[in-house]
């Protein structure tokens, strides 16, 4: 009797816990010019979702999910081989830092000392500088299968790296469960006061890689009442402007393509489309909150992005100009994919009224973001 009870209990637990199907498998994506192997880890669940993470840039190389008819497609723009990530990276799926987004003229002051990071975006520093976290080889420190499949990668950025003070140790953990939740968690510590702002630069085309529709037909919802306008070099002016009555109002679902080229608003002209920060909250929060909802009405593929960060940078792929050939031989054009990046506000080190990017010894920086994938019937 007892044996029968135990068997029945185990069977019920197995039925109630389909997450046991989640797996993590390691392979090699290629080799660096110096001969070092680039590990890749593929996380898969029992519901047809899988994602491959590569150690170069701790990046999402692919993410495959079904549409409403069950057809599985990769929804991440990028490259099929390592060569593209080495020769023209474009931040595809990458971890960006030490400071994600822009710093005006690459300059900031910390504890009375001036620091300079290399400029690589007109007069400004973008995503850490000329060799940010997206362009280095991370170390795979843990690979796990089970109820939640995961991979953890680490990069130790030395003191003075790209002009930033302090040795910063960063762990990036990607995990996939049976609810179709893909979670990315960044943690960082330092041995000296410094600045840290990390995010993931996944490029989404929910229609599927190679689809001629691109991403401009995606419907976006952003629960923010304000955004931070920028100058002509895409640095925030310091104003917190209401979205009401503007092309930046995504509080109700809005098709991206309906307003992405509406240059009657000078802000659209500055960015050649959307490349702005929405103020979702005023500070980093203990728990995750909704940042954005995106759906491709044709395929039904979509996601909700939740995070503990205050800002959402929405970039509508404005600078793809047909000079990049990506997966399946597709030439990437303006609007073929979008990026939505939870983070602190751009140029935060130079704005005392923005949420602070300062990290001190003994503290742990944390950015957690969860893509809740779904199919709209």
Q: Kindly list the distances between the CA atom of residue 217 and the CA atoms of 30, 205, 259, 269, in Å, as whole numbers in the listed order.
A: 34, 10, 11, 20
Q: HEC states along 166-205?
A: CCEEEEEEEEECCCCEEEEEEEEEECCCEECECEEECCEC
User: Over the stretch 353-371, which tens digit does the pLDDT of each residue have?
Assistant: 999 999 999 999 999 999 9
φ, ψ dihedrals at 364, nearest 5° = -125, 120
Q: Which of 73, 90, 178, 341 is catalytic?
A: 341
pLDDT at 210: 84
Whether 90 is catalytic is no
Shortest CA distance to 138 belongs to which of 44, 218, 228, 40? 40
Structure tokens at 158: 């030395």
pLDDT at 193: 98
Average pLDDT, the chain: 94
Inter-residue contact 26 to 40 (CB < 8 Å) = yes
pLDDT at 18: 44
pLDDT at 3: 40
pLDDT values of the chain reduced to their tens digit, one per residue, 377 residues: 334 333 333 333 333 344 457 999 999 999 999 999 999 999 999 999 999 999 999 999 999 999 999 999 999 999 999 999 999 999 999 999 999 999 999 999 999 999 999 999 999 999 999 999 999 999 999 999 999 999 999 999 999 999 999 999 999 999 999 999 999 999 999 999 999 999 999 999 999 998 989 999 999 999 999 999 999 999 999 999 999 999 999 999 999 999 999 999 999 999 999 999 999 999 999 999 999 999 999 999 999 999 999 999 999 999 999 999 999 999 999 999 999 999 999 999 999 999 999 999 999 999 999 999 999 99
Shortest CA distance to 115 belongs to which of 166, 76, 56, 178? 166
CATH topology of domain 21-375: Beta-galactosidase; Chain A, domain 5 (2.70.98)
Rounded to whole angstroms, how far apart are CA atoms 94 and 233? Answer: 23
Shortest CA distance to 175 belongs to which of 208, 153, 155? 153
- Classified as helix, coil or strand, 280 is coil
**DSSP calls for 215-273:** STT-EEE---SEEE-B-TTS-B-S--EE-TTSTT--SS-EEGGGTTT-TTSHHHHHHTS
Inter-residue contact 272 to 162 (CB < 8 Å) = no
Q: Which of 127, 181, 201, 276 is catalytic?
A: 201
Whether 304 is catalytic is no
**DSSP calls for 310-366:** SEEEEE--TT-EEEEE-GGGPEEETTS-BEEEEES-TTGGG-TTSPP-EE-TT--EE
Structure tokens at 255: 């098709």
Task: Parse the chain into domains and list their residue ranges.
Answer: 21-375
Inter-residue contact 182 to 62 (CB < 8 Å) = no
φ, ψ dihedrals at 161, nearest 5° = -55, 120
User: Over the stretch 233-263, which tens digit does the pLDDT of each residue have?
Assistant: 999 999 999 999 999 999 999 999 999 999 9
Inter-residue contact 290 to 223 (CB < 8 Å) = yes
Inter-residue contact 77 to 205 (CB < 8 Å) = yes
């Amino acid at each position: 009797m007892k044996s029968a009870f135990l068997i029945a209990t185990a069977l019920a637990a197995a039925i109630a816990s389909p997450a046991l199907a989640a797996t993590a498998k390691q392979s090699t994506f290629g080799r660096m010019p110096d001969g070092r192997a680039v590990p890749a880890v593929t996380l898969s669940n029992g519901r047809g979702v899988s994602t491959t993470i590569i150690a170069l840039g701790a990046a999402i190389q692919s993410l495959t999910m079904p549409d409403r008819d069950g057809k599985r497609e990769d929804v991440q723009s990028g490259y099929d081989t390592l060569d593209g990530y080495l020769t023209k990276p474009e931040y595809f799926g990458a971890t960006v830092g030490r400071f994600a987004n822009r710093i005006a003229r690459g300059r900031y002051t910390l504890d009375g000392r001036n620091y300079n990071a290399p400029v690589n975006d007109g007069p400004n520093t973008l995503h850490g500088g000329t060799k940010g976290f997206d362009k280095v080889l991370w170390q795979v420190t843990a690979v796990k299968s089970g109820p939640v499949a995961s991979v953890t990668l680490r990069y130790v950025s030395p003191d003075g790296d790209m002009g930033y003070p302090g040795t910063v140790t960063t762990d990036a953990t990607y995990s996939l469960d049976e609810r179709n939740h893909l979670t990315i968690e960044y943690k960082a510590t330092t041995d000296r006061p410094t600045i840290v702002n990390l995010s993931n630069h996944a490029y989404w085309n929910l229609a599927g890689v190679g689809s001629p529709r691109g991403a401009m037909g995606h419907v976006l919802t952003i629960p923010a009442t304000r955004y931070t306008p920028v100058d002509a070099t895409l640095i925030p002016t310091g104003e917190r402007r209401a979205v009401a009555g503007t092309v930046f109002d995504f509080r109700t679902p809005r098709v991206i393509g309906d307003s992405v080229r509406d240059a009657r608003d000078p802000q659209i002209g500055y960015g050649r489309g959307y490349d702005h920060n929405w103020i979702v909250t005023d500070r980093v929060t203990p728990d995750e909150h909704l940042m954005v909802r995106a759906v491709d009405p044709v395929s039904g593929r979509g996601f909700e992005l939740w995070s503990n960060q205050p800002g959402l940078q929405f970039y509508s792929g404005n600078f793809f100009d047909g000079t990049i050939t990506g997966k399946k031989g597709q030439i990437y054009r303006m609007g073929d994919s979008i990026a939505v990046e939870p983070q602190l506000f751009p140029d935060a080190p130079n704005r005392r009224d923005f949420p602070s990017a300062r990290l001190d010894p003994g503290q742990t920086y944390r950015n957690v973001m969860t893509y809740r994938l779904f199919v709209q019937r």
